[in-house]
């Protein structure tokens, strides 16, 4: 697990990020999300959305032209969305809807330096008007200067030391640390990013990124750029492969899919190895006695993954530019894993324990290559809750690939790595219907879930996706028995896997950013469902209910801890060690007094949350303490639901959430809050 620990004045500062949503000029389909252990905020009602929001299938040249257009207009766009004079935009991706709306994804720079956690998506109408901006951070990007107080050598030493503590093998960084602005959590600061290579303790290549505060030398964040995943030792049977013939020689080069090539590393751990080639077009013999068997499985898995994305979402390759990646098999000696590497833009497979079971099944390819899709769209950080969403996205799309392939030897299921017997007991690595069955994954959200290994925190999104697709309760699908529970004990009716995949993909490509957490994932998937299927239909309600069933947000119609809710999603800045601020909601249409179990759901983005004191203020000015300050509470953000006995208060009137920062050096803002009357 990759943990983060930083603070300008304290240690063990665990980061948890909330994606900020800025709205301009249109009714918000993206309502601010509140996340808590109990069911909480639901988006404000919006008019039923038109199905014209479906994405256009762009050719690589059309996509490239739109990105060039965005690059030409980047200065104007930056000004339009209120960026500072030192900030610039770098367009990275674009999605076009059938109604002409463009969703353009940008990276950001400040004084020429990359802003990590500064990514954003700008939605532009066909008229050219900016409709909405979705930001990875809501903080203003501004630093006193860009001259570091610590040396590059000091930053490099910190990174190398950390890499060695995690099993790394290198004594120096791959390159000199680069200056960046770190904005993914807290107040943006000047920092160094250092990348340490070599190998991890299990033989996996290492690309540890360490972010160091350039003023204090404190570590701000770290993440592993090599995405480890699942394995599956079951073969796909006799399949058709697309190869290339030159004279009398055939090669595993798929000219129909961006020239995706498959190489034999022959136990090596670097380079591309040797392109599989032979004088006949029959590859492998179904056993490990022939090296080409693993090559055939990997080549087939890559083809199925390409076809799944193209035919399901209109995506042409991992980068959506028509260019294939490449695969490498027979990596290392008895390496029991597989991984995607953005650096080489390639997929790599080990041969398993004793080199007896190459990890080259369909869902492995789908899972690992989906890491590449995530990297080239939302760029979800591979740590904390966003890391869990990153892993879940690969599980979700890997499952989609397996169902899409419809292979009789490896039928579609909601089990991850079901053919690998790593634990020696014949069980899958992960279960989407009830993630906790693996002994480590979580079925439902709770405030500390971001501290888990990303392969375990992914359980919440996996469970959400299963419920959205198939619904709760006992059932048999393709011969596999499932029995999915819900955190609130209420049933969920599924909408089918095809629609669930469309919702997740649209959210990933147009709503998620690098810092998206579970609350923001709920927000993004609801927006996606509304755009694809309308906000009054079964699909939108099912997304609400499926998230509520994993303890993220409220049920449709207020069920499962809902009731009548009154919410304020406007951001309110909380001054550092300053005066209290308030955010108001007006309650109307109630009779009599407030209940004895009034629910107050709070979503506050703030580093070192122990600085905060929170009160609920009733219409007559009476105050109810929700949270005291604590000098030992170093975690980020307040995302909680409090129960208040407000039975002595008249229900109707203006209620306020009052927040005050009572200690120096950490800042934040009220993201949203809500009152719920049962």
- Write a three-state SS string for 130-197: EEEEEECCCCCCCCCCCCCCCCHHHHHHHHHHHHHHCCCCCCCCCCCCEEEEECCCCCCEEEEEEEEC
For residue 652, pLDDT beyond 50: yes
Phi-psi region of 214 (alpha: psi -120 to 50; beta: other; left: phi over 0): alpha
pLDDT of residue 24: 25
Q: pLDDT band at residue 275, thresholds of 50, 70 and 90?
A: very high
For the chain, which residues make up each domain, given as ranges? 20-135, 236-319, 564-677
The SS3 call for residue 217 is: coil
pLDDT of residue 509: 97
- For 370-391, what is the mean pLDDT? 95
The SS3 call for residue 220 is: strand
- For 560-567, what is the mean pLDDT? 62
pLDDT of residue 639: 85
Which carries the bigger pLDDT value, residue 565 or residue 500? 500
pLDDT of residue 564: 75
Q: How far is CA 163 from CA 190, 200, 207, 211, 282, in A?
A: 22, 8, 9, 12, 44
Active-site hit among 15, 103, 455, 606: 455
For residue 198, pLDDT beyond 90: no
Which residue in this structure is represented by tokens 């256009």? Answer: 56
Phi, psi of 366 (to 5 degrees): -60, -45
Min mean pLDDT across 9-23, 112-126, 295-309 is at 9-23
Mean pLDDT of the chain: 86
266-270 CB contacts, 8 Å cutoff, 24+ apart: 266/291, 266/330, 267/330, 267/331, 267/332, 267/333, 268/331, 268/332, 269/199, 269/203, 269/205, 269/331, 269/332
pLDDT of residue 228: 53
Tokens of 269: 């751990």
Tell me what percent of the residues of the chain surpass a pLDDT of 70: 89
Task: Reply yes or no on whether 455 is catalytic.
Answer: yes
Q: Please give the CATH number for the structural domain made up of 236-319.
A: 3.10.170.10
For residue 27, pLDDT beyond 50: no
Cα–Cα distance for residue pair 403/497, rounded to 1 Å: 9
pLDDT of residue 52: 54
For residue 1, pLDDT beyond 90: no
**Common-topology check for domains 236-319 and 564-677:** no
pLDDT of residue 347: 94
pLDDT of residue 94: 96
Phi, psi of 260 (to 5 degrees): -70, 125
Which carries the bigger pLDDT value, residue 43 or residue 211? 211
pTM of the entire predicted model: 0.72
- For 464-477, what is the mean pLDDT? 97
pLDDT of residue 563: 57
pLDDT of residue 412: 94
pLDDT tens for 318-328 read: 999 999 999 99
Q: pLDDT band at residue 641, thresholds of 50, 70 and 90?
A: confident
pLDDT of residue 77: 95
Which carries the bigger pLDDT value, residue 422 or residue 661? 661
| Cβ pair 613, 626 in contact under 8 A | no
pLDDT of residue 380: 96
Min mean pLDDT across 41-45, 91-95, 204-208, 392-396 is at 41-45
pLDDT of residue 506: 97
Phi, psi of 451 (to 5 degrees): -85, -5
State the number of CA atoms in the 13 A half-sphere of 492 facing the CB: 37
pLDDT tens for 320-374 read: 999 999 999 999 999 988 999 999 999 999 998 889 888 888 888 899 999 999 9
For residue 60, pLDDT beyond 60: yes
Q: pLDDT band at residue 246, thresholds of 50, 70 and 90?
A: confident
Min mean pLDDT across 240-249, 392-401, 412-421, 561-570 is at 561-570
Q: CATH says 564-677 is which class?
A: mainly beta
pLDDT of residue 191: 96
pLDDT tens for 92-109 read: 999 999 999 999 999 999
Which of 24-38, 248-262, 460-474, 557-571 reaches the highest mean pLDDT? Answer: 460-474
Handedness of CA 632, 636, 640, 642 (dihedral sign): positive
Q: pLDDT band at residue 7, thresholds of 50, 70 and 90?
A: very low
| Cβ pair 45, 554 in contact under 8 A | no
Cα–Cα distance for residue pair 380/517, rounded to 1 Å: 9
For residue 547, pLDDT beyond 70: yes
Active-site hit among 156, 304, 368, 649: 368
pLDDT of residue 424: 63
pLDDT of residue 175: 87
Cα–Cα distance for residue pair 214/403, rounded to 1 Å: 48
State the number of CA atoms in the 13 A half-sphere of 502 facing the CB: 18
Tell me what percent of the residues of the chain surpass a pLDDT of 90: 61
- For 572-579, what is the mean pLDDT? 93
Phi, psi of 467 (to 5 degrees): -60, -40
Helix or strand holding residue 362 (H, E) = helix 362-375
DSSP 406: T
For residue 48, pLDDT beyond 50: no
Q: pLDDT band at residue 14, thresholds of 50, 70 and 90?
A: very low
């Amino acid at each position: 697990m990759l943990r983060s620990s930083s603070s300008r004045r304290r240690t063990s500062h665990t980061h948890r990020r909330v994606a900020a949503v800025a709205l301009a000029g249109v009714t918000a389909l993206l309502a601010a999300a509140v996340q808590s252990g109990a069911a909480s905020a639901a988006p404000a009602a919006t008019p039923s959305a038109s199905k014209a929001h479906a994405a256009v299938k762009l050719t690589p040249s059309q996509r490239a032209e739109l990105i060039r257009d965005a690059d030409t207009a980047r200065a104007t766009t930056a000004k339009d969305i209120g960026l500072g004079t030192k900030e610039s935009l770098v367009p990275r991706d674009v999605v076009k809807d059938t109604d002409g709306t463009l969703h353009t994804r940008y990276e950001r720079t400040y004084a020429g330096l990359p802003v990590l956690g500064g990514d954003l998506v700008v939605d532009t109408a066909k008229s050219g008007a900016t409709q909405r901006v979705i930001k990875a951070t809501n903080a203003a990007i501004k630093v006193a200067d860009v001259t570091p107080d610590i040396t590059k050598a000091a930053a490099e030493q910190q990174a190398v030391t950390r890499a060695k503590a995690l099993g790394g093998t290198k004594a120096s960084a791959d390159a000199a640390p680069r200056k960046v602005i770190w904005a993914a959590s807290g107040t943006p600061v000047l920092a160094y990013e250092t990348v340490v290579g070599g190998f991890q303790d299990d033989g996996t290549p290492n690309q540890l990124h360490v972010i160091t505060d350039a003023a204090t030398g404190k570590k701000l964040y770290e993440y592993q750029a090599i995405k480890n995943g699942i394995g599956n030792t079951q073969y796909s049977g006799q399949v058709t492969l697309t190869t290339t013939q030159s004279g009398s020689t055939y090669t595993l080069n798929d000219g129909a899919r961006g020239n995706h090539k498959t190489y034999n590393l022959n136990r090596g751990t670097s380079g591309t190895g040797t392109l599989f080639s032979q004088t006949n077009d029959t590859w492998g013999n179904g056993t490990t006695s022939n090296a080409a068997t693993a090559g055939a499985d990997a080549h087939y898995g890559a083809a199925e993954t390409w076809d799944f994305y193209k035919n399901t979402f209109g995506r042409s390759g991992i980068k959506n530019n028509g260019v294939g990646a490449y695969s490498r098999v027979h990596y290392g000696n008895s390496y029991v894993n597989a991984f995607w590497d953005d650096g080489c833009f390639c997929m790599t497979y080990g041969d398993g324990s004793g080199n007896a079971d190459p990890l080259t099944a369909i869902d492995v390819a789908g899972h690992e290559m989906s890491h590449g899709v995530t990297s080239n769209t939302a760029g979800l950080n591979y740590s904390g809750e966003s890391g869990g969403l990153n892993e879940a996205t690969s599980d979700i799309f890997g499952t989609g690939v397996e169902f899409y392939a419809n292979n009789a030897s490896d039928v579609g299921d909601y089990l991850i790595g079901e053919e690998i017997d790593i634990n020696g007991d014949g069980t899958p690595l992960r279960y989407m219907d009830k993630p906790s069955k693996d002994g480590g994954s979580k079925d439902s959200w709770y405030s500390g879930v971001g501290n888990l290994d990303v392969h375990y925190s992914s359980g919440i999104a996996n469970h959400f996706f299963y419920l959205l697709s198939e619904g709760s309760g006992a059932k048999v699908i393709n011969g596999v028995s499932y029995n999915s529970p819900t955190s609130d004990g209420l049933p969920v009716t599924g909408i089918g896997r095809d629609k669930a995949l469309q919702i997740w993909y649209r959210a990933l490509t147009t709503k998620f950013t690098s810092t998206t957490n579970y609350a923001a994932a709920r927000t993004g998937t609801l927006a996606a469902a509304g755009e694809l299927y309308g906000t009054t239909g079964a699909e939108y309600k099912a997304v609400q209910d499926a998230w509520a069933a994993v303890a993220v947000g409220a049920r449709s119609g207020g069920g499962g801890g809902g009731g009548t809710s009154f919410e304020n999603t406007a951001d309110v800045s909380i001054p550092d060690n300053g005066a209290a601020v308030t955010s108001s909601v007006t309650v109307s249409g109630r009779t009599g007094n407030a209940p004895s179990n009034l629910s107050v759901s709070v979503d506050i983005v703030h580093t070192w949350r122990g600085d905060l004191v929170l009160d609920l203020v009733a219409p007559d000015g009476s105050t109810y303490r929700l949270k005291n300050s604590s000098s030992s509470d170093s975690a980020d953000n307040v995302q909680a639901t409090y129960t208040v006995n407000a039975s002595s208060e008249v229900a109707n009137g203006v209620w306020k959430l009052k927040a005050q920062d009572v200690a120096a050096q950490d800042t934040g803002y009220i993201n949203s809050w809500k009152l719920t009357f049962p």
